[in-house]
Amino acid sequence: MRRWETDPILTVDHLTMRFGGLVAVNDVSFTVGRGDVTALIGPNGAGKTTAFNCITGFYKPTLGRLALAHGGAPTTEDVEALTAAGQAAATTQAGALFLLERLPDHKVSSKARVARTFQNIRLFSGMTVLENLMVAQHQKLIRSGLLSPSALLNLPSWRRQEKEGMDRALHWLEKVDLVERADDPAGDLPYGDQRRLEIARAMCSDPVLLCLDEPAAGLNPRESAALNTLLLSIRADYGTSVLLIEHDMSVVMEISDHVIVLEYGKKISDGTPAEVRSDPAVIAAYLGVDEDAVEAVEAEVGL
């Protein structure tokens, strides 16, 4: 079943990002299926992280449309109408529709509910593990206002709210197996724990789409396996769609439903892991030769 074709949560159309004269992403289109684990792969410098930064609102794309749908697949008319209206968000029959390129970065997270992690981990290292998870629930906790009197005076209604937040944080601590370290500064955790904490923190902001930038980088095989389990559980138990950039092919092939391959800012392949694996263009990209020469090289290295 190709969910990314029938029920896309994110539709990327003609995404282009230029930095001065450099075209980092060049007219890339793809879709991300709701409830899928989608992997974005490609050699170094292929434009994966740039595409990611556009999706999560940190860069404003030079060209292109990034349509994110809550609830269910949007109709083409809905998307076109919203694009033409010049607005960033609209409610549709299925739920809500957002054009991410029109939202400021913090609203990509708070309104469109896209969460992300970073290639070089960005935890609040001077705050404790628990505090990190509480910060992630900022949106939920400020429903009654940024300086709500109930929180200022520590009224029971606020304490109830805070308790809920604590419980959610605890749930995720259990999930990533960090309950014992809850009161330690995040900066004191070992690398693998920091990676998991960053994912837990992103999940605490209650996203519909979780974007992970090289989550397995620097993990040992055991940690990597645990990560796979965690990601599959995120998809299965919370219905959160996962989009990840990854170099570790074991992670990519094992857990993803859909793989998109970029090279030099262009999409060269798109399909299920099995399809992509046998695509000559992908093999050429990874081996660094022209497509025509793939067979020769494969023969040479004994594939």
Partner 1 sequence: MDVFLQQLINGLTLGSIYGLIAIGYTMVFGIIGMVNFAHGDVFMVSAFIGLIAFLLLTTVLGITSIFLVLAIVLVVAMIFTGLTSWAIERVAYRPLRGSFRLAPMISAIGMSILLSNFVQVAQGPRNKPLPPMLPDVIVLMDNNGYQVTLAYKQMFIMILTAVLLGGFWFLVQKTPLGRAQRACEQDRKMAALLGVDVDRTISLTFIIGAMLAAVAGVMYLMYYGVVNFNDGFVPGVKAFTAAVLGGIGSLPGAVLGGLLIGLIETFWSAYFSIEYKDVAAFSILAITLVFMPQGLLGRPEVEKV
Partner 2 sequence: MSSPLAGDGAARPSPFAAALKDAVVSGVITFLLFLPLVGFRATESGSGPLTLTYRFGLCATFAILVAVLRLVLHLTIWRPGRQKAARGTPSPLAAVGGFISPMAKPAFFALALFYPLIAIVVTGGLTPSRYWIDLGIYIGSYVMLGWGLNIVVGLAGLLDLGYVAFYAVGAYAFALLSTSVPINDWMAGHLGENFWALWSFWVCLPVCGILAAMWGVILGFPVLRLRGDYLAIVTLAFGEIIRLVLINWTDFTNGGAGIASIPPISFFGIPFTAADDGFAARFGLTFDPMHRIIFLYFVIVALSLLTALATLRLRRMPVGRAWEALREDEIACRSLGINTTLTKLTAFATGAMFGGFAGAFFAVRVRFVSPESFTFIESAMILAIVVLGGMGSQMGVAAAAVFMIGGMEMLRNLSFLKSDWLLGPDFDPTLYRMLIFGFAMVAVMVWRPRGLVSGRLATIFLKERKKVSGDLVKEGHG
Residues 6+ apart with CB under 8 A from 4: 30, 31, 32, 33, 36, 38, 257, 258
Distance CA 92, CA 76 (A): 11
Amino acid at 298: E
Closer residue to partner 2, CB minimum distance, 106 or 160? 106
Closer residue to partner 1, CB minimum distance, 19 or 191? 19
The torsion of the CA quartet 190, 193, 199, 205, rounded to 10 degrees, works out to: -90
Number of residues that bind partner 1 (CB under 8 A): 6
Radius of gyration, CA atoms only, the chain: 20
Closer residue to partner 2, CB minimum distance, 1 or 152? 152
Closer residue to partner 2, CB minimum distance, 81 or 127? 127
Does 125 help bind partner 1 (rule: CB under 8 A)? no
Please say whether the dihedral angle defined by the alpha carbons of residues 102, 106, 111 and 116, taken in this order, is positive or negative.
positive
Position among 19, 95, 188, 239 found at the interface with partner 1 (CB under 8 A):
19
19 binds, options partner 1, partner 2, none, Cβ within 5 to 8 A by partner type: partner 1
Amino acid at 136: A
- Phi first, then psi, for residue 59 (nearest 5°) are -115, 145
User: Is residue 82 within 8 Å of residue 68, measured between CB atoms?
Assistant: no
SS3 158: helix
**String marking each residue 40-79 x if it binds partner 1 according to CB under 8 A:** ---------x---x----xx--------------------
Residues interacting with partner 2, by CB under 8 A? 56-58, 105-111, 115-116, 118, 122-128, 130-131, 134-139, 141-142, 146-147, 151-152, 154, 166, 170, 179, 182-185, 187-188, 201-202, 205
User: Is residue 266 within 8 Å of residue 14, measured between CB atoms?
Assistant: no
Closer residue to partner 1, CB minimum distance, 117 or 161? 117
**String marking each residue 83-122 x if it binds partner 1 according to CB under 8 A:** -----------------------------------x----
User: Is residue 176 within 8 Å of residue 200, measured between CB atoms?
Assistant: yes
Kindly list the residues in this chain that would bind partner 1 in the complex (CB under 8 A).
19, 49, 53, 58-59, 118
